[in-house]
Amino acid sequence: MPLAEPLIPLIVRIVARIAGRMITWPGSRSAVALAILAVALAGCADKHWSRPATTSAQFDSDSQNCARDATVVDKPSMLPGPHGTSYVGGGPRVATDQYRACMTARGYSYAQGGQFVGYHD
């Protein structure tokens, strides 16, 4: 369970209280406060994976297989310098778009409120 999930009911109560008070605030302060609240709450909308009747073990296996299948090896970049050429970066990484396509092909949906946390969710 993501850390933010238990806090959502508390955040909703706080926002409702603040929204009730904002009606009495003069013009621009209300708009600024509302914008700040919207940005703060946007961070609480975590997306995760879900699929009906799936156990954690099944998800872990599918996620690991998709991460393995989506692994690509980047070539290092060459940077010329005063003491010769340096190589920066490179190495294996999981291509997020390929990982998500693999998980979707296995019947998972990536949405707000999903039950499983996958690779770099």
Residue-level pLDDT at 4: 56
Q: Where are the domains of the chain?
A: 1-45, 50-121
What average pLDDT score do residues 114-118 get? Answer: 91
What average pLDDT score do residues 110-117 get? Answer: 91
Check: pTM over 0.75? Answer yes or no.
Answer: no
Q: In this structure, what is the dihedral angle of CA atoms 67, 73, 76, 77, given to the nearest 10 degrees?
A: -80
HSE (CB half, 13 Å, CA atoms) of 18? 16
pLDDT tens sequence across 4-17: 556 666 676 776 67
Residue-level pLDDT at 1: 46
Q: Identify the band that residue 113 occupies on the pLDDT scale cut at 50, 70 and 90.
A: confident
CA distances from 8 to 14, 27, 42, 56, 121 (A): 10, 28, 11, 24, 19
Residue 31: its H or E element? helix 27-42
